Structure 1
Amino acid sequence: MIVASYDLAACVTSIGIAFFAFNIGRRGTVILGNIVAVIGSVLQASSYSVAQMIVGRLCTGFAIGCISAAVPSYLSETGGEIADRGPANALNGIFLISGVPIAYWIDYGFVHWNAQASWRIPIIFQCIFAFVSGGTMYFLPDTPRWYYARNRYEEGDAVLSRLYDADVSSEKVQSTRTEILFAIEAELEASASLHWKQFLTMGFVDKTRMKIVRRLWICFWLTMIREWMGSSLIGYYSAIILSSVAKPSLVSLLSGVLNTFFALGCVPLYFTVEKFGRRSILLYGACASTCFVTAFTVLVAIGGSSAVNWAAVAMIFCLLFVFGWAWQGLVWLYCSEIAPLEYRHIGGSFTACGEWLMVFITVFAGPIGFDNIGWYFWLWVISGNVVAIVFVALLCPETGGKTLEQVDYLFVDKAFAGLRKNFDIDAEDAEANIGEKSNEEREENIANISKSA
């Protein structure tokens, strides 16, 4: 429960921040998360009781809930060109998973030190990353799309101009500005048919003309399914998993190498995400991971000889490498792209909630499953990989090669007059139409959606 309290706090926070994330922005949410991360790290490192340790982990869980909900949106919305979003989020995934082997090897270096510092130093070490992340964000602006959504047009123009390294009056800046304002207007018009009861159907019944409910639920289910596929189970309990197929003297070393291999698997996405597209990588990656986890399960069930055990180890290495490439960073990118601009902070909340809810279930139930049913527990992981294939094939359109505003067309009803492909509206008209709806009215609408979620 001490371990899982972190993930539970992140899950609850992910939904809770939907009430205020739109007000403080993507940048403000990230800074808040890093501040609380420092507080949580200090509480844990100075703990002399289980209660204080759990409170510290709840704080760091709150922090990661804020950060994981806001960072993908910030990266996607600050991409100057269409092809910038993929590599930026892929690089984010590389750094994200690189933290896993870094944490493991630091722990590995302290594990034989029989003193309080052996666990207090690794925990307080988290503060270094929080200071760098939060300190960097302090000097950066928020995204132009958030400024426009908040009716702060001058600041949005300034940031957009900086992103394109061009004057505000340039054709590129004005074209993007018009597209963003027009998308906001269309989303406000589409939200008129939005009702909280539609969320109870988990997106299967969506009467909104831009499929807002379905898109938000896809954000939730994609990360939920991703953790169902076994990545966190292997990451948290690699030593326990490998102990069933490897010698005890090699388990700790293999666990470190396995987590490093996982991080290396994220690297190819940087070079392939724009070339092959999001949907194809997700789909074929799920197919490959299904094959690897099935082979691993069969080999563990057979067991016995040294050759079979090492073959099982090889399968788990291949599984994590493919998973790192196809699903680790890409899911966060995809969810930030399909969430509507006006509700992107809620989309980020749904994405992070699905992630941390299933991580909590996995981390809490994993050891119990291994102790009680052994290798049969892997059948649950196999089913998650099969569900991933079906889900992507049926519900996830390709978003690559499109602006964030053009992604709306993938979900919009053809009869919806709010989206006119010829953009026969200029930026001034869009700005005037958006201004008719006050921030208070829009925040009330968004708050109702957050409450229903």
Structure 2
Amino acid sequence: MIPRNISLHVPFLLLSILFFSAMVDVGVMSGAIIFIQGDLKITEVQQEVLVGILSIISLLGSLAGGKTSDWIGRKWTIGLAALIFQTGGAIMTLAPSFKVLMIGRLIAGVGIGFGVMIAPVYIAEISPAIARGSLTSFPEIFINFGILLGYISNYAFSKLPAHLNWRIMLGVGLIPSVVIAVALFIIPESPRWLVVQNRIEEAKLVLSKISESEKDAEEKLQEIQKAAGSGNADKYETKAVWKEILYPSPPVRRMLITGCGIQCFQQITGIDTTVYYSPTIFKNAGITGNSELLAATVAVGFTKTVFILIAILLIDKLGRKPLLYVSTIGMTISLFSLSFALAFLSHAKIGIALAILAVCGNVASFSVGLGPICWVLSSEIFPLRLRAQASALGAVGSRVSSGAISMSFLSVTKAITVAGTFFVFGVISCSAVAFVHYCVPETKGKSLEEIEVLFQNVGESQESEVEMGDVEHLMQKS
């Protein structure tokens, strides 16, 4: 049940708009790159760099975001992310040359890095346990809607002159900035961050607004204070936090493996190449003509948006792990099917149909599990003292993986073909299924503090099983 106070929904609106702005750029770039290439006469290598550099440079924002959010708070870090992204977006829209376009792309990347790191952390810290999964996934609706809108704008503006159409496409993402500026003065700060700063009365006020009753708010406050060490901010010094991350205890090590691992698998299974390079994939399958290619990508964007809605409806009912199984298995089947279609049925009608179906199946499977749940898990499994910095580390892994895949895609396809590249992604997706089975616990319905205990108990139960096995072995020998 969602808390009665409507003010709780404002943060999700703000974060959704932030993601919407960023992901309009992602969706737009897949089609805009065709026209940028013609207008600015960029090479294929420059095309790869332009597409992939956003993810690589965003790791700077993600790294800085952890410390920044501990310093100025979760809320104002979101505002900073939006400001940086909008600045970069404006520069890209007005860029007269490839060099200036790259400068705007770099600035936008830093803003996205801040956003992808802080948004899930903020929502996880302000959400009730019973609905945290769906609420943390909520911005994914707008991520996917933003990508879909990007695809649609590509198609709608593709008939305009080449020096104008891609600028209008990129300019669409600047529209939500006014709403973000207004919302910043309405949304509350994270109560957990306020406790860490010893601002207990402010934390209590926020909790009273987002809890079902004053009693619930008081109990939650006590639980947070206990997890935070009674608001001892000395525990949150950067050096101490990073020391615990770099030299982790067994429970923290398990958290890092789960959180950082799921972030990397989200990207190394090739989802960004599907989004950025879908026109290239469909051209390889046999579709000709820019309008037809962009129309096919609209179907991809629509599929992605529909299935994220399904994920949000199911994540707190079925749980994280079942959806991750469906997601990774579905992606594996789709990726192998796409590889087969491109390798053996290219330019045949059945091959084109299978390629479109496989790409849609891949993004549908991703959106129903690995896409949203990645951010849910990475924001909810870490203890309060480590949450911002550890989430930043996971986001860095995601951004590096995304950038490496995006920037190398065209070069790799030249070496092993597009079909071979997606076969490799299929193999990696198989590994993701095993990772989910062995490394991801179920966190549905548990508070953030209970999840911390869960990782400790997992280790204790494993140690008990080992000890029991040793006893049984000794008994058999005797």
Scaled to the shorter chain, the TM-score interval is: 0.7 to 0.9
Question: Of residues 219, 225, 241 in structure 2, which corresponds to 1:175?
Answer: 219
Distance 1:64 1:372 in 2: 31
Distance 1:262 1:403 in 2: 29
Distance 1:34 1:415 in 2: 40
Q: How does 1:26-41 map to 2 (within 5 A)?
A: 26-41=74-89
Q: CA deviation at 1:198?
A: 7.4
Question: Which stretch of the first structure deviates more once superposed, 310-319 or 359-368?
Answer: 310-319
SS in 2 for 1:341: coil
Question: Of residues 157, 161, 167 in structure 2, which corresponds to 1:110?
Answer: 157
Q: CA deviation at 1:191?
A: 9.1
Question: Which stretch of the first structure deviates more once superposed, 388-397 or 407-416?
Answer: 407-416
For the 8 Å contact 1:38–1:127, the answer to whether it is kept is: yes
Runs of 4+ off more than 4 Å: 186-200, 413-416
For the 8 Å contact 1:245–1:309, the answer to whether it is kept is: yes
Distance 1:89 1:246 in 2: 39
Distance 1:199 1:408, change over 3 A: closer
User: What is the letter of the counterpart of residue 227 of structure 1?
Assistant: Q
Counterpart in 2 of 1:396?
Answer: 440
For the 8 Å contact 2:335–2:358, the answer to whether it is kept is: yes
Question: Of residues 117, 122, 126 in structure 2, which corresponds to 1:74?
Answer: 122
SS in 2 for 1:4: helix
Question: Which stretch of the first structure deviates more once superposed, 294-303 or 68-77?
Answer: 294-303
Question: Of residues 48, 65, 87 in structure 1, which corresponds to 2:113?
Answer: 65
Distance 1:274 1:105 in 2: 31
User: What is the letter of the counterpart of residue 174 of structure 1?
Assistant: E
Gaps of 5+ in 2: 1-48, 461-478
Cα offsets for 1:317-375 (capped at 9, x unmatched): 11211211111111101111102112211133123212211111111011112222211
For the 8 Å contact 1:90–1:329, the answer to whether it is kept is: yes
Q: CA deviation at 1:262?
A: 1.3
Q: CA deviation at 1:121?
A: 2.2
Q: CA deviation at 1:74?
A: 1.3
Question: Of residues 144, 149, 157 in structure 1, which corresponds to 2:191?
Answer: 144
Distance 1:129 1:87 in 2: 23
Counterpart in 2 of 1:353?
Answer: 396
Matched, 1:233 2:300: no
Q: CA deviation at 1:187?
A: 11
Distance 1:199 1:131, change over 3 A: same
Q: How does 1:27-426 map to 2 (within 5 A)?
A: 27-79=75-127, 81-114=128-161, 116-164=163-211, 166=213, 170-185=214-229, 207-208=248-249, 211-249=251-289, 250-304=292-346, 305-374=348-417, 375-412=419-456
Distance 2:303 2:353 in 1: 16
Q: CA deviation at 1:90?
A: 2.5
For the 8 Å contact 1:13–1:66, the answer to whether it is kept is: yes
Distance 1:391 1:187 in 2: 35
SS in 2 for 1:329: helix
For the 8 Å contact 2:66–2:117, the answer to whether it is kept is: no
Distance 1:180 1:199 in 2: 21
Distance 1:258 1:49, change over 3 A: same
Q: CA deviation at 1:238?
A: 0.2
SS in 1 for 2:187: coil
Cα offsets for 1:246-286 (capped at 9, x unmatched): 32143221112112211211110121111111122112321
Q: CA deviation at 1:12?
A: 2.3
Distance 1:252 1:20 in 2: 39
For the 8 Å contact 2:196–2:231, the answer to whether it is kept is: no
User: What is the letter of the counterpart of residue 252 of structure 2?
Assistant: I
Distance 2:244 2:191 in 1: 30
For the 8 Å contact 2:319–2:444, the answer to whether it is kept is: yes
Q: CA deviation at 1:64?
A: 0.7
Counterpart in 2 of 1:439?
Answer: none
Distance 2:341 2:230 in 1: 54
Q: CA deviation at 1:138?
A: 2.9
Distance 1:196 1:71, change over 3 A: closer
For the 8 Å contact 1:223–1:355, the answer to whether it is kept is: yes
SS in 2 for 1:411: helix
For the 8 Å contact 1:224–1:358, the answer to whether it is kept is: yes
SS in 1 for 2:386: helix
Higher helix share: 2
Corresponding residue pairs, total: 406
Counterpart in 1 of 2:24?
Answer: none
Distance 1:246 1:415, change over 3 A: closer
For the 8 Å contact 2:64–2:114, the answer to whether it is kept is: no
Counterpart in 2 of 1:419?
Answer: none
Normalising by the residue count of structure 2, what TM-score does the alignment of the two structures yield? 0.79
For the 8 Å contact 1:190–1:208, the answer to whether it is kept is: no
Gaps of 5+ in 1: 201-205, 417-453
For the 8 Å contact 1:222–1:354, the answer to whether it is kept is: no
Counterpart in 1 of 2:37?
Answer: none
User: What is the letter of the counterpart of residue 172 of structure 1?
Assistant: D
Distance 1:20 1:207, change over 3 A: closer
Percent sequence identity is: 21
Distance 1:32 1:173 in 2: 29
Distance 1:70 1:402 in 2: 21
For the 8 Å contact 1:187–1:340, the answer to whether it is kept is: no
Q: CA deviation at 1:122?
A: 2.3
Counterpart in 2 of 1:449?
Answer: none
For the 8 Å contact 2:257–2:439, the answer to whether it is kept is: no
Distance 2:220 2:242 in 1: 32
